[in-house]
Amino acid sequence: MNFILAGHGNIAVEMKNSIEMIAGEYPNLHAITFQLGDGIETLKDKYLKIINPPTDQPFIIITDIFSGSPYNAAAILAMQLENIEVITGLSLPLCLALLHLDYASISFEEAFEQLNDIQSDFIKSFKKISKDIAEDEEF
C-alpha cells in the first residue's frame, strides 16, 4: 500500500518526518505541501507526480481536513482513478495505525472499519483519565 500525506502548509512533510522519527523510514510514504497561491490543479499535479498513472498500485491519500483544497484535489483524482482512496483527519496516531495494518490480508474497507473502531483511542483528556484513576482508587 502507498500513502500520500497532504495538508495546508508544511503539515504533511513534518508529519512524515515525525512518523519516520518514531517508526523508521517508509519508502511507500510520501508527503506534499499546499502553499499559499497553490490551487486544485497544482495539487493534482503534485499527487500525479507520485502516483504516476497508469499504475495499479493502491494509494491512500490522507488529508488534514474534509473539503479543504488538498482533500478536494485528491477526491477529484479518486473519481478518475480506481486505485485511490481518500481519508481525512491527518494525525500522527492515525498515520501510525494506517501504516501498520496488514493490507495483504484485509481490504481497505476493513482497514477503514478498524480505524473507526480505534479512533477513540486517539483522543485523550488528561483530566478525564486522572478523574477515572482517582475514582478507581477509591474502591
Q: Model's pTM, two decimal places?
A: 0.86
33-87 pLDDT, tens digit each: 999 999 999 999 999 999 987 778 889 999 999 999 999 999 999 999 998 999 9
Angle at 57 between CA 117 and CA 105, to 5 degrees: 40
User: Domain locations in the chain?
Assistant: 2-138
Active site residues: 8
Nearest Cα neighbor of 91 from 115, 128, 122, 46 is 122
23: which 3 cell numbers? 517508526
Instruction: Give the pLDDT score at 112.
Output: 79
Considering only the top CATH level, what class is 2-138? alpha beta
Cβ pair 103, 1 in contact under 8 A: yes
